[in-house]
Chain A
Amino acid sequence: MHELSIAHGIVDVAVGEARRLGAVRVSAVHVAVGRLSGIEAGALLFCYDIATAGTPLDGSRLVIEDVPISIYCKPCGSEKALPGVNRFRCPDCQTPSGDIRRGRELELTHLEVEQPDFTPLTQSAAS
């Protein structure tokens, strides 16, 4: 199971980004996980709490976006989403295709952060 390594990877990237953004707290981390990435969402969620313990991400939520596989089908001239992970054929015309356009993602997409509000309090009070 390499989900723990992946969870540590998420912590590394998220902490760096949060620091860059000047965030005081990270409340949620959104990741896109392609079905060809080899990651099992349940295992990743389980490992996330372990990997974030004692880090600035402690207590944050992990939101996983499941990304289906898409291939490019030449005869149809378009990108097609596959219903599964082990049949690389156009679901419409049945032509085999190894031209994968989506489904390998393993990406941190969004952070929900609390940032210091630099707007002067008097001004926000007046608005």
Chain B
Amino acid sequence: MSAPTVPLTATETRIVEVRAGILKKNDELARALRRRFEAAGVFVVNLVSSPGTGKTAFLERTLRELREQGLRVAALVGDLETDNDAQRLARSGAPARQINTHGRCHLEAEMIEAHLDDFAIDQLDVLFIENVGNLVCPASYDLGEAMRVALLSVTEGEDKPLKYPTMFNSADVAMITKVDLAEACEFDWEAARQSIESVRPGMTILSCSARKGTGMATWYAALETRRQGWRSTRRDVVV
């Protein structure tokens, strides 16, 4: 019989179970942000959509009119390069800060955290985050928001939610924008409703024209209802 084989290497290959979230770092930071927002009493809304849906026009009007109603509002706006949007939003009179992602296609929790010192967040009622215009990537990143609104314009076609189900599925409210153009685009309301309902049964669907002001009062009412619900259930957090 030959001599027993001595292993040539002092290592062994093993398969080890790990089970760890890939976005762990972002998710942990988002949880910390959520606790911070709750402690400060600021309701945070994340606006997501494809480019050109009219997020900035929608937000500009929202900021102006909510300020007129006496709410303390502010905005963080994500963009790949320019600060055009923050300049536009600042015209509403509300504080607005630009986050340049320098090519990144979405906002991440650490970018939000890095810009929070620009605001006295405990002096705010609502902080809006205008995400980068992109219907894919922002869906994966929790920013610690209390509410996510997915915007869909009548010019984009009724089946966008079917094509980008993850985004609509991760949002709380679908907002159909540019309704003043609906007739010209032959927008099929029922088809749009069905495609939203198909990817997110029971989702709240609102519609508006930020240019004409149509539907904005309903949006403010829906926002306020959710904010009040959040205020009554948010945990008592000591900072």
Contacts and interface: CB of A to CB of B under 8 A. Distances in A.
Interface of A: 1-2, 5-6, 9-10, 12-14, 17, 21, 24-25, 27, 31, 36-39, 85-89, 96-98, 100, 106-117, 121, 124-127
B7 interface: yes
Closest 5 CB pairs of A and B: A96-B201, A2-B137, A38-B166, A86-B165, A86-B162
5 contacts: A9-B23, A38-B139, A108-B22, A114-B13, A124-B7
Contacts of A125: 4-7
B155 to A, nearest CB: 21
Given A86-B165, A88-B199, A97-B201, A115 B14 contact: yes
A115 B200 contact: no
Contacts of B14: 112-115
Given A98-B203, A108-B20, 14 more contacts: A2-B105, A5-B137, A9-B24, A17-B16, A17-B20, A36-B165, A86-B163, A86-B195, A88-B201, A96-B197, A107-B21, A110-B15, A111-B16, A115-B14
Interface residues of B, number: 45
Contacts of A87: 198-199
Nearest to B3: A125
A interface secondary structure, majority: mixed
B12 interface: yes
Given A88-B199, A96-B201, A121-B7, A112 B13 contact: yes
Interface string B1-40: 0001111011111111111111111100000000000000
A108 B18 contact: yes
Nearest to B138: A2
A100 B163 CA distance: 18
B216 interface: no
B104 interface: yes
Interface string B104-140: 1110100000000000000000000000000011011
A2 B23 CA distance: 12
Contact of B19 (A14, A24, A25, A107): A107
Contacts of B17: 109-110
Nearest to A3: B137
B201 A115 contact: no
B81 to A, nearest CB: 17
B15 A112 contact: yes
A86 B161 contact: yes
B177 interface: no
Contacts of A13: 18, 20-22, 24
Nearest to A87: B198
Interface in B38-61: none
B162 to A, nearest CB: 4
Contacts of B198: 86-89
